[in-house]
Amino acid sequence: MNRWKKYKLLVFVLFLFILLPFQLISQEKKEGIWIVIDQSNVQKMAIDPQGNLYLISESSLFKYDLSGKLLYSYTNFQYGTIHSVTAINPMKIMLFFRETGKIVFLDERLASISTEFDLFSSNFYTISLASCSINNQIWLYDQNNATLEMRDFHFNPVNRITYNFPDFQPIQLTEIPGKNFLMTNPNQAIYLFDTFGTLIKTLPLRTNHPAQVIGNTIYYIGDHSIEKYNYVELRHETLEFPCENLAQILIYGKHIITLDQGGKVTVFLVED
């Protein structure tokens, strides 16, 4: 009988050791912080339609899922620092190396899928922003000449537009999938264009950070919170979420992913 009591006591203690940590972790996740990504010195990030997270750290790109698991990585020291990543198509990830004028496309495993494009050999020496669309167009913004170049995937010319906006020094060029694209001009406005590069709207949204577009809604970092703006319904909403010391935010479902000024990435679970 004593042995049976000792056995039950041992099972109960083991049960507590297994269950209690799980309950504590679950409680912490319900309170907000889901996971801190174990990747240092992150400069920029992007997310694809499947919820995969792409983190730029100098000459490297890391692909994570939202649970914090590292899936794949890519490094190219020869081309220098990665300036931006475009992940609207998870099967065709675009990297822009601004200082060496290179564009590289990667597959879902972050392996190169085509010969890289050399902008310098095509006489594009002052491209400040580069992105791509879901229909395989490449967009290049030339800051010195205030010109947007559109190319196909074989780098043949599609269109070329020169803009005359005052003090136009955009920090972001991104597509609204299948619809339009936008450029973010720091502390002035967000400019919305059609797929031919013609200006549609100037949105009075002021931010020094990259914005994210989901459907008809633009998310961006305001002075002290995340701002949400529906550019079709012209409806503005403020999300009560602390934004001090943040460099970028991304939204995916109930997740808010933040990148702080120190290069740390945190994934928050937001309850309804």
For 59-118, write each residue's pLDDT tens digit: 999 999 999 999 999 999 999 999 999 999 999 999 999 999 999 999 999 999 987 999
Q: Say whether pLDDT at 251 is over 70.
A: yes
* Same domain as 80, residue 70: yes
Q: Say whether pLDDT at 190 is over 60.
A: yes
| Backbone φ, ψ for residue 225 (5° rounding) | -160, 175
Q: Say whether pLDDT at 28 is over 50.
A: no
Helix H or strand E segment including 259: strand 255-260
Q: What is the pLDDT of residue 242?
A: 81
* Same domain as 70, residue 7: no
* Same domain as 135, residue 152: yes
Q: Where are the beta strands (DSSP E) in 108-239?
A: 117-118, 127-132, 138-142, 147-151, 157-162, 172-176, 180-185, 189-194, 199-203, 212-214, 217-221, 226-230, 235-239
Q: Say whether pLDDT at 249 is over 90.
A: yes
Q: In this structure, which amino acid lies at residue 178?
A: G
Q: What is the pLDDT of residue 17?
A: 38
Q: Residue 68 sits in which domain range?
A: 32-269
Altogether, the residues listed in the chain come to a count of: 272
* Same domain as 97, residue 6: no
Residues 41-64 have pLDDT tens digits of 999 999 999 999 999 999 999 999
Please state, in angstroms and rounded to a whole number, the distance separating the CA atoms of residues 47 and 63: 9
What's the Cα-to-Cα distance from 163 to each of 117, 152, 199, 258, rounded to whole Å? 25, 21, 9, 32
Q: Say whether pLDDT at 11 is over 90.
A: no
Q: Say whether pLDDT at 5 is over 80.
A: no
* Same domain as 225, residue 153: yes
Query: What is the rounded average pLDDT of the residues 197-211?
Result: 93
* Same domain as 91, residue 21: no
**Torsion of the alpha carbons at 129, 264, 221 and 92, rounded to the nearest 10:** 40
Are 84 and 44 in contact by the 8 Å Cβ rule? The answer is yes
Residue 149, SS3?
strand
Query: What is the rounded average pLDDT of the residues 209-233?
Result: 93
* Same domain as 94, residue 203: yes
The more confident residue out of 188 and 30 is 188
Q: What is the pLDDT of residue 159?
A: 93
Please state, in angstroms and rounded to a whole number, the distance separating the CA atoms of residues 210 and 172: 6
Query: What is the rounded average pLDDT of the residues 188-199?
Result: 91
Q: Say whether pLDDT at 177 is over 80.
A: no
Please state, in angstroms and rounded to a whole number, the distance separating the CA atoms of residues 28 and 24: 6
Q: Say whether pLDDT at 33 is over 80.
A: no
Number of structural domains the chain divides into:
2
Residue 124, SS3?
coil
Please state, in angstroms and rounded to a whole number, the distance separating the CA atoms of residues 24 and 30: 10
| Number of other residues whose CB lies within 10 A of the CB of residue 102 | 21
The more confident residue out of 160 and 271 is 160
* Same domain as 46, residue 25: no
Question: Token pair of 140, please?
Answer: 């290049």
Q: Say whether pLDDT at 18 is over 60.
A: no
* Same domain as 117, residue 10: no
Q: What is the pLDDT of residue 272?
A: 60
Residue 108's CATH number: 2.120.10.30
* Same domain as 21, residue 156: no
* Same domain as 24, residue 89: no
Q: Say whether pLDDT at 4 is over 60.
A: no
| Number of other residues whose CB lies within 10 A of the CB of residue 253 | 10
* Same domain as 249, residue 159: yes
- Proportion of the chain above pLDDT 90, given as a percent: 72
Order of strands, sheet of 102-106, starting from the edge strand that comes earlier in the sequence: 84-86, 93-97, 102-106, 117-118
Q: Say whether pLDDT at 196 is over 90.
A: no
- Which range (29-38, 60-69, 219-228) has the least confidence? 29-38
Q: What is the pLDDT of residue 14?
A: 40
Please state, in angstroms and rounded to a whole number, the distance separating the CA atoms of residues 224 and 246: 10
The chain-wide mean pLDDT, for the chain, equals 87
Confidence of residue 230 (pLDDT cuts 50, 70, 90): very high
